């Protein structure tokens, strides 16, 4: 059975998973600005999902509406059995796919042996993929990773992952050590495409790193022959980044402010007391920028503790 990844137009665009950012509210707002072809949830702990107490703390990360499809659930952890269980859950909940985080460089996560630490533990990485596949059944399984840990290991590490015959593979073109402090090694991402082609696999390759516009995404996909482009931080500077027909630099202040109000209201309606309103503050600069007085407005908004306080400033 062909996965949905294979049926996407090429090049396609994906909204990257971002911690405490890309929840159901954020995804719906971005879709209203310009819909990406695929979206991914915040990364969710398989250990949390496997625990009755832990599940209550992480399950909100997998909350979604049908309008967000195709939506891929991203998971992380170190226990293959829990990946199997997460795969079953993702399939039962109707997710379009399951993605395994093997790229997060956060130190406390690495200390657990999870995410990018798996680059140093390829056998466990393979066991995890196999368990996730068994649990996920007929929904596609993918991985998001980096090109190495302390140094570039594209052939060794990515070559190993390709042996698991993944449905899709997203490559963030930096090592773990580089974090986001160095330019993306797009030549290494292009090398992954060559490795895939040499192995004659159907794995879809997605490039990620330093994409700041839709047009740049198109150019990079053409140059390096990736099937898709994933954008993360770029959307925090331009919520309309997936819309090729809108130049956000020409949008009026009124349009930006109205979109922020819409975002705040949806956040409030969706989460109420479930999430601290401070989480919403990460998004203010997405809209309140590049116009006279923007900095002062942002400063006032940052002092607010409720949606109502913010809206009074904006209307």
- Measured CA to CA, the distance from residue 81 to residue 83 in angstroms comes to 5
CATH top class, domain 4-237 = alpha beta
CA distances from 5 to 77, 184, 250 (A): 24, 24, 33
Can you tell me whether residue 314 is helix, strand or coil?
helix
pTM for the model: 0.96
Please provide the distance, in angstroms rounded to a whole number, between the alpha carbons at the two ends of the chain: 51
Closest CA to 217 of 188, 4, 227: 227
- What pLDDT score was predicted for residue 256? 95
Catalytic residue among 104, 115, 283, 310: 104
**Contacting residues for 144 by C-beta, under 8 A, at least 6 apart:** 17, 74, 99, 100, 101, 102, 103, 169, 170, 172, 208, 230
Please confirm, yes or no, whether 283 is among the known catalytic residues. no
State the span(s) of the chain assigned CATH 3.20.20.70. 4-237
192 in Cβ contact with 146 (< 8 Å) = no
Strands of 62-193, DSSP E: 71-76, 97-102, 141-146, 168-172
Q: What is the pLDDT along the chain (315 residues), one digit of tens a residue?
A: 679 999 999 999 999 999 999 999 999 999 999 999 999 999 999 999 999 899 999 999 999 999 999 999 999 999 999 999 999 999 999 999 999 999 999 999 999 999 999 999 999 999 999 999 999 999 999 999 999 999 999 999 999 999 999 999 999 999 999 988 899 999 999 999 999 999 999 999 999 999 999 999 999 999 999 999 999 999 999 999 999 999 998 999 999 999 999 999 999 999 987 899 999 999 999 999 989 999 999 999 999 999 999 999 999
- What pLDDT score was predicted for residue 152? 98
């Amino acid at each position: 059975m062909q996965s949905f990844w294979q049926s996407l137009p090429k090049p396609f665009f994906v909204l990257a998973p971002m911690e405490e950012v890309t929840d159901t509210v954020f995804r719906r707002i971005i879709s209203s600005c310009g819909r990406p072809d695929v979206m991914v949830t915040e990364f969710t702990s398989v250990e949390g999902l496997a625990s009755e107490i832990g599940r209550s703390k992480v399950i909100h990360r997998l909350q979604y509406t049908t309008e967000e499809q195709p939506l891929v659930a991203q998971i992380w952890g170190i226990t293959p059995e829990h990946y199997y269980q997460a795969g079953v859950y993702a399939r039962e909940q109707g997710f379009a796919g399951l993605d395994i985080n093997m790229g997060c460089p956060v130190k406390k996560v690495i200390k657990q042996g999870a995410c990018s630490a798996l680059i140093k533990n390829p056998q466990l990485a393979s066991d995890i993929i196999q368990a996730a596949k068994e649990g996920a059944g007929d929904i596609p399984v993918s991985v998001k990773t980096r090109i190495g840990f302390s140094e570039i290991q594209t052939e060794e590490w990515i070559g190993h992952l390709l042996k698991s015959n993944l449905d899709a593979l997203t490559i963030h073109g930096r090592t773990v050590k580089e974090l986001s402090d160095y330019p993306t090694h797009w030549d290494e991402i292009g090398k992954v495409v060559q490795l895939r082609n040499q192995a004659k696999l159907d794995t879809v390759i997605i490039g990620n790193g330093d994409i700041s516009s839709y047009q740049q995404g198109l150019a990079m996909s053409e140059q390096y022959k990736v099937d898709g482009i994933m954008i993360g931080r770029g959307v925090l500077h331009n919520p309309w980044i997936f819309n090729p027909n809108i130049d956000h630099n020409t949008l009026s202040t009124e349009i930006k402010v109205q979109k922020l109000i819409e975002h705040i209201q949806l956040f409030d309606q969706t989460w109420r007391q479930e999430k601290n309103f401070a989480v919403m503050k990460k998004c203010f600069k997405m809209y309140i920028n590049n116009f006279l007085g923007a900095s002062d407005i942002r400063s006032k908004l940052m002092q607010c503790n409720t949606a109502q306080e913010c809206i009074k400033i904006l209307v």
